[in-house]
């Protein structure tokens, strides 16, 4: 346990930020899974809307530092390929 006041504050801030990151990662995974489910169903209109939401979530994750930009590009590319195969 830290003794210095600034170190105590840093522990609390890190705990809060870790919870925010965990929540954001969970929401990102949920959006991607919804897209995957729509593709598995073969529902093009539902997949289109889920794709837009998932891509936006991936871009936001990059902005917040949750994903590396190359990782995000790979995820978006894979989703685009899956969406185009439905047509």
* Cα gap 46→54, rounded to integer Å: 12
Residue 3's alpha-carbon distances to 14, 18, 28, 39, 51, in angstroms, are 16, 22, 37, 53, 49
User: What does residue 2 show for φ and ψ, rounded to 5 degrees?
Assistant: -70, 150
Q: How confident is the model at residue 84 (pLDDT cuts 50, 70, 90)?
A: very high
pLDDT digits (tens, 9 = 90+) for 35-54: 999 999 999 999 999 999 99
Give the domain ranges of the chain: 5-86
- Determine the pLDDT at residue 87: 74
76 three-class SS: helix
pTM, two decimals, is 0.87
Q: What is the CATH number of domain 5-86?
A: 1.20.58.110
């Amino acid at each position: 346990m830290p003794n210095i006041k600034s170190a105590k504050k840093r522990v609390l801030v890190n705990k809060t930020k870790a919870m925010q990151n965990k929540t954001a990662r969970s929401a990102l995974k949920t959006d991607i899974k919804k897209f995957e489910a729509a593709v598995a169903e073969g529902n093009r209109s539902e997949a289109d809307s889920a794709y837009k939401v998932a891509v936006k979530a991936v871009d936001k994750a990059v902005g917040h530092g949750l994903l590396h930009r190359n990782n995000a590009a790979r995820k978006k590319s894979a989703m685009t390929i899956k969406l185009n195969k439905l047509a």
